[in-house]
Amino acid sequence: MADQESLFLNRPDFARWGWRLGRRDARQSPAAAAVETNTSRQLVSIQILRAFAALMVVIFHVTDNAFSQSLGTVPVFMIGNAGVDIFFVISGFVMYLSTRSPTITPARFWEARIVRIVPLYYLATLTFLAVVLLLDRLPADFSAFEIVLSGLFIPFRNSLNGQEVPLLGVGWTLNYEAMFYLVVGLAIAIAPLQRKMQIVFIASVLCVLVVGRFLFEPTGAVGIRMTSPILLEFLSGMMLGVIESRRPRRQIVLGAAMIAAGVALMVFLDSRAGTMPRTIGYGLPAVLIVQGFILCEGLMRHRSLRLLRWFGDASYSIYLVHGIVIYAIVSPFSAYLPRSEASCVVLFVLACGAGLLCYEYVEQPLLRASKSVLSSVRRKYAAAKGAIDG
């Protein structure tokens, strides 16, 4: 799977400019789902939207493999590809609101992102490699250096499928997230306590990178990722954060209308995919949907939606784990599985169930342990510094 920067494969003009890397690269993600902040806890709507985005991703991948394609699955399921764009917009929104504290420093910001994103991602990557080894699918030209590149969020062409994604395919979105976090941290360092200057810096950097796509027409994995128009989806999320920071009055009717318009636009543009870049076909509708959910915050707090909130909390685990489950089942057993929609439903349930279990019994304990280790390191550092100063 490639970068999914356009929606179809039939436009060589977009390919020339680097808009397209292939439709089948929607290894969605999101690390936005892995951001834990006071903002996300306060806005239940964001958690519920994360649930929908994660389920969209699972549906897309369940219906986007050689096994399910033989069923002639409904094309509308391909819209699940847009789940990652929703995650990117959410990430920009959350990062803007979560960095408002005057006490935040670049080091603390990056520490929080690393603790929240990296441990589970590393564990999921190693688990996937273990599955590949067990199935005897590891290519002869595989290099351990690929593990290093994946762990450092550096784009490269992997030996597992010859595509420009990390070993754990869904990690391609984390490459974008890591780049965005780097820029946000630099903005905090360059303009501490100056919110407007931080936004100007972030917007300038992201826009310059995207313009570089057209000026230099990069062909390598690093250049393509670093200049992707997808970066503008983070920026649009930050603009929603600016709106939210002014505490607009919740308007459920307007929010519902924006959600409906976003979904309708997404379906409409998906049916005409290939005539526009991904940031328009999926990014623009994603912005409408995210803003609509935020405006419907009061409605989203109803107790009947607690299950969706749980799925939202577990969205990062679902995102990282579901592909491993699909691969572990389809790769060795596709010849024996009945070709039916029921099989796809079972695969969907198993993938989501594995993600929920991972959240409860792996992600949360791992997060607590990581935070504990970080706190211990901070205490020892403070004690050592105090001893030296004293």
If DSSP codes are grouped into helix, strand and coil, which group holds residue 166? Answer: coil
pLDDT of 69 strictly over 90: no
Residue 99 token pair: 């960095």
Which residue, 143, 203, 202, is CA-closest to 167?
143
In a domain, 2, yes or no: no
In a domain, 59, yes or no: yes
The pLDDT confidence band at residue 74, using thresholds 50, 70 and 90, is: low
Give Cα separations from 113 to 106, 219, 239, 286 (angstroms).
11, 29, 21, 23
pLDDT of 73 strictly over 80: no
Answer whether 324's CB lies under 8 Å from 127's CB.
yes
In a domain, 140, yes or no: yes
| Bigger pLDDT: 246 vs 188 | 188
| Bigger pLDDT: 25 vs 300 | 300
The pLDDT of residue 79 = 82
The pLDDT confidence band at residue 382, using thresholds 50, 70 and 90, is: confident
The pLDDT of residue 65 = 67
In a domain, 4, yes or no: no
The pLDDT of residue 82 = 92
Number of domains, the chain: 1
In a domain, 91, yes or no: yes
Which residue, 324, 329, 366, is CA-closest to 344?
329
The pLDDT of residue 240 = 95
Answer whether 92's CB lies under 8 Å from 238's CB.
yes
- By residue range, what is the domain housing residue 223? 12-389
In a domain, 6, yes or no: no
In a domain, 246, yes or no: yes
pLDDT of 31 strictly over 70: no
Residue 285 token pair: 């509708």
pLDDT of 20 strictly over 80: no
Residue 128 token pair: 């996937």
Q: What is the DSSP string of 206-247?
A: HHHHHHHHHHH---SHHHHHHT-TTHHHHHHHHHHHHHHHT-
In a domain, 7, yes or no: no
